[in-house]
Amino acid sequence: MTIYDWHTGPYPARVRIALAEKGLQSRLRFVSVDLRKGEHKTEAFRAKNYSGTLPVLELDDGTLIAECTAITEYVDALDGTPVLTGRTPREKGVIHMMSRRAELEVLDALSLYFHHATPGLGPHVEVYQNPEWGLYQRDKALRGMRYFDGVLRRQSFVAGEAFSMADIALIGGMIFAGLLRVPVPEECEALNAWYARMQERPSVRNWRTMSA
């Protein structure tokens, strides 16, 4: 199997963390697609992923799977013992709900801020920018952080009492916030404590250095 990604990307981080949690790093080949050069927007790469986004998983039979959630679902189910995406219908439902909230309210909002209200990846990639929209999305991400702070005051993990794909999605958001120097609101003590605890996990601590 092959993963097309970029070693500092917050979205690739999600899949790298999932792979490490499942102990699958040695079964994959990593191919770098340079975001800074816009390689993910080229015609050649879009033949692999129409959306022009990273990461993408290519199976040995040529099947291409894009989108972090879909890739995580696949790798989590490979050994027949899912631990990141839920085992029961209830677990699956809650994990998917909270994963999507982490994307919409924090991770994707910060991505929109990056692409619209900062230089982003440069003029060759950022062909359209709306700074006002970008700043609105930054503020949305801050509201999202406050929401998850409330969630984490009531429970140990984003989707309950076990580490899951939902935690990984929010970790991606926190990684992006750090890259963009968007400070977590001071009052979000539970969120900060959770993130500090997450960074103690080997999968989170070492995702950038995963072998290529």
Asked if the domains at 2-83+205-209 and 89-201 fall in one CATH topology, the answer is no
As a whole number of angstroms, the distance between CA 69 and CA 172 comes to 12
Distance of CA 140 to the CA centre of its chain: 17
Instruction: Render pLDDT for 167-191 as a digit per residue (tens, 0 to 9).
Output: 999 999 999 999 999 999 999 999 9
Instruction: Render pLDDT for 79-95 as a digit per residue (tens, 0 to 9).
Output: 999 999 999 999 999 99
As a whole number of angstroms, the distance between CA 14 and CA 208 comes to 11
As a whole number of angstroms, the distance between CA 89 and CA 78 comes to 18
Homologous superfamily of domain range 2-83+205-209:
Glutaredoxin (3.40.30.10)
As a whole number of angstroms, the distance between CA 59 and CA 55 comes to 13
Confidence of residue 202 (pLDDT cuts 50, 70, 90): very high
Return the CATH number of the domain spanning residue range 89-201. Answer: 1.20.1050.10
Place of tokens 């076990």: 162
The domains of the chain are located at 2-83+205-209, 89-201
Model's pTM, two decimal places?
A: 0.95
Q: Structure tokens of 75?
A: 């790798």
Q: Closest Cα partner for 66 from 46, 86, 82, 85?
A: 46
Are the CB atoms for 15 and 71 separated by under 8 Å?
yes
